[in-house]
Chains A and B, each alone.
Chain A
Amino acid sequence: KNQVEQSPQSLIILEGKNCTLQCNYTVSPFSNLRWYKQDTGRGPVSLTIMTFSENTKSNGRYTATLDADTKQSSLHITASQLSDSASYICVVSDLTGGGNKLTFGTGTQLKVEL
């Protein structure tokens, strides 16, 4: 069964600090891995998407890495801001079902404090 596990479940950091969120997956056949940011009461918004051949991808202060051999990904947030407080969801797509099959993690709830 395809699964995506994220850690930690929740995290509190001070504004200006860096943090790293983890994602382990068992999805096959692998197509791509996405990181989404979801503010409370809103829909998820895409941060990055990486295919099998990509090791790292950045979007401003967000940098995602992918190790397809160990089936691990991380999302690094640099110089955190209060607006970074949200749930960060790791999503893995497989090649079955015409590309519509996404497996979602439960998310990491990040809170940035003063």
Chain B
Amino acid sequence: ETGVTQTPRHLVMGMTNKKSLKCEQHLGHNAMYWYKQSAKKPLELMFVYNFKEQTENNSVPSRFSPECPNSSHLFLHLHTLQPEDSALYLCASSQTGTGEAYGYTFGSGTRLTVV
């Protein structure tokens, strides 16, 4: 394991459902991230949290709602998704400071399918 744990590993949901993705890091990092990875496209940064404060929202639709209760936990709440939202959602963490992001580590991802 990498020290960044994501649950669930797989999720199938209907367009009217509400679900949440969970990420937990055991590395003592102060920054956490959500990424979306679609087939044949680069990873897309969605949200950044530093010391549990959101510092970046990369123009993500409001049907994705992040929550960061502390520096170790990150959630992504999902509602009324579209089929094109089907993708691998990756969580990452790092230790930031002096302009560097040290120890950038990814979780194993949640494979989301919207039907």
Query: Which B residues touch A36, using CB under 8 A?
Result: 106
With A31-B100, A43-B90, A97-B56 known to touch, is A102 a contact of B108 (CB < 8 Å)? no
Looking at B11-19, B43-51, B62-70, B74-82, the stretch in contact with chain A turns out to be B43-51
Given contacts A93-B101, A98-B50, A100-B56, contact A106 B40 (CB under 8 A): yes
Count contacts between A and B, CB distance < 8 Å: 65
Q: Verify if B99 is at the interface (C-beta below 8 Å from A).
A: yes
Contact in complex: B42, A104 (CB < 8 Å)? yes
The interface residues of chain B, by DSSP majority, are classed as: strand
Check A43 against B42 for contact (C-beta < 8 Å). no
Q: Is the CB of A46 within 8 A of B105?
A: yes
Total interface residues in chain B, CB < 8 Å: 31
Are the CB atoms of B88 and A41 closer together than 8 Å?
yes
Pair A31/B40 contact, Cβ less than 8 Å: no
> Does B111 reach chain A (CB closer than 8 Å)?
yes
Whether B96 contacts A98 by the Cβ 8 Å rule is yes
Q: Contact at A43–B100, with CB atoms within 8 Å?
A: no
Can you give 9 A-B contacts (C-beta < 8 A)?
A31-B99, A36-B106, A43-B4, A89-B43, A93-B100, A95-B99, A98-B96, A100-B48, A103-B42
User: Could you tell me which B residues sit within 8 Å of A by CB distance?
Assistant: 2, 4, 6, 31, 33, 40-43, 45, 48, 50, 55-56, 88, 90, 92, 94, 96-101, 104-109, 111
Q: Give A residues with C-beta under 8 Å from B.
A: 4, 31-32, 34, 36, 41-46, 89, 93, 95, 97-100, 102-107
Given A36-B106, A100-B33, A103-B42, 16 extra CB contacts under 8 A: A31-B100, A34-B104, A43-B4, A44-B43, A44-B90, A44-B106, A45-B106, A93-B100, A98-B96, A99-B98, A99-B99, A99-B100, A100-B55, A100-B94, A102-B45, A105-B42
